[in-house]
Amino acid sequence: MSTEGTVITEQLVREMAPVRDDHGHKNDFGHVLVCAGSEFMTGALQLCASSALRSGVGLVTAFSTKEGLEPLKVNQPCALTAAWEESVTATLRKASALIKKTTAVAVGPGLDESDPRSKALVEEFLLEAKALVLDAGALNIIAKNKEELMPILASRKERGLLPAVLTPHVGEMRRLLKDEVTPEACAKFAVDNCCLLVLKDNKTLIYTPHDTCYSIQGDNSGMAKGGSGDVLTGLIGGFLAQGIKPCNAGVAAVYMHSKAGKYAATFFGKRCMLPTDVLGSLSQAFQETGW
């Protein structure tokens, strides 16, 4: 298999645009549950939820600790909120109810990996969420609990669920593999675990469960800042919630994220641009791509 695979182009992504009925209402466009953030990483939740809201999804519910939700309530009034309970059992009960009301789950940015509720929630989403994207803290939790959680990840298709989308950077991928990160190892991981693997780097590579690959060249050091991945995770979650299949959701989100990053770099400069500037540039990326 080529390490390049199919190069992601504007034409390719344009054809993936979901139908959007001007007579539709919010419940027609999906509902994504964003489980992210913690007391000391409140920004990750805000970036991820804000990006999901920009994706075109009808509703976004932010699910986090009470401390993690406070800034979001002030700075992102468009999102619904739901707070974790004190106990693991009560938190899982609330998560189960939320899964039934939503069409996709995005989990991981800013999670406190030491909190037992975080691990329990990652397992619950792996077991029950129809469409799922995992990033950051969720990936590290899986890496620390491989024997328990990897079989659940691999068996999602057998249980009638969509392949999960994983979005590691190289360091997170190394922890998942516990070995050298090579194209061959990543391709095997995606096939063996029946998941879509979005490996974030200067050249982002997407490995599918069907042993195919997509790539896009970044060449934008302005994106190499904390929070950029949270924006991507929110986009993928929002696309999944709208009914876009995992492969198309990953490909389209990576393209829109990259394109918005280029616009932000043009306006603010690579040195000064922030992930919030990428968020602000998504509208231009969507419009010029025909979405």
**What's the pLDDT at 1?**
38
Would residue 258 count as lying in a domain?
no
**Is the distance from CB of 176 to CB of 189 less than 8 angstroms?**
yes
Q: Which domain holds residue 58?
A: 23-215+226-248
CATH of residue 131: 3.40.1190.20
Would residue 288 count as lying in a domain?
no
**What's the pLDDT at 217?**
85
Low-confidence ranges of the chain (pLDDT < 50): 1-2
Would residue 64 count as lying in a domain?
yes
Q: DSSP string spanning 136-189?
A: HHHHHHHHHTHHHHHHHHHTTGGGTPPPPEE--BHHHHHHHHTS---HHHHHHH
Question: Which two three-digit tokens encode residue 196?
Answer: 């879509």
Would residue 44 count as lying in a domain?
yes
**What's the pLDDT at 161?**
98
Would residue 231 count as lying in a domain?
yes
DSSP, res 110:
T
Q: Give residues with Cβ within 8 angstroms of 196, minimum separation 6.
A: 163, 164, 165, 166, 190, 206, 207, 208, 209, 246, 247, 250
> Whole-prediction pTM value?
0.96
Q: Give residues with Cβ within 8 angstroms of 116, minimum separation 6.
A: 88
Count of the separate structural domains present in the chain: 1
* pLDDT tens, residue by residue, 152-163: 999 999 999 999
> CA 101 → CA 90, 162, 228, distances in Å?
17, 17, 28
**What's the pLDDT at 4?**
74
**What's the pLDDT at 3?**
62
Would residue 112 count as lying in a domain?
yes
Establish how many alpha carbons lie within 13 A of residue 174's alpha carbon, considering only the half-sphere containing its beta carbon. Answer: 5
Helix (H) or strand (E) holding 275: helix 275-289
Would residue 270 count as lying in a domain?
no
Would residue 136 count as lying in a domain?
yes
